[in-house]
Amino acid sequence: MRISLFIYRFLIIGLILLGLTVFAGTIYGVFFLDNGSAAPIYSPVETSGITRHTFMGIGRMRVSTSDPNPGVVIIFVSFIYDPDDRPFFEELALKIVDFRSIITDYIGSFSVAELHDKDEEDIKTELIQRFNAILRLGQVETLFFSDFMIL
């Protein structure tokens, strides 16, 4: 009985130490660790004396077209948002996977020839409508394509 009580205490102390280690590591990672290797999710931009942020969390994408022998579209989508609207920024960060899916579904529904014939502004307008349909805390007003290559 004395041995089982010793093992029980040893396990409890071990779990407490493990929990404290995880907690301390989390605090260190959040407040002190500069993770410069992560892709930026936003970039500050100054327009007319007002600082805005460009949301770049969607990243560069490669989307296959609907052709029997698919082509590839390389696209990098970004848009401006108000940096003071923290809830909207958090919603944007949570919707990155949804944004990528919307882009893949929309761009992937066209053939290479159809994409060449399509106006870039029409593509942006449709993507804005689809993005805004899933957003609840704010709206995307303008999209930017820093990359839009049809291969």
Q: Which residue(s) pair with 147 in the sheet?
A: 76
Q: Which two tokens stand for residue 48?
A: 């007319």
State residue 128's pLDDT score.
Answer: 97
Q: Please say whether the beta carbons of 130 and 106 come within 8 A.
A: yes
State residue 141's pLDDT score.
Answer: 92
State residue 2's pLDDT score.
Answer: 72
Round to whole Å and give the CA distance between 106 and 58.
Answer: 15
State residue 150's pLDDT score.
Answer: 92
State residue 136's pLDDT score.
Answer: 96
State residue 36's pLDDT score.
Answer: 46
Low pLDDT (below 50) residues in the chain? 35-38
Query: Domain boundaries in the chain?
Result: 1-36, 42-150
How far CA 122 is from CA of 25, 80, 107, 127, in Å, comes to 48, 19, 12, 9
State the helix-helix crossing angle for 96-107 and 120-134, rounded to 10 degrees: 140
CATH code, residues 42-150: 3.30.479
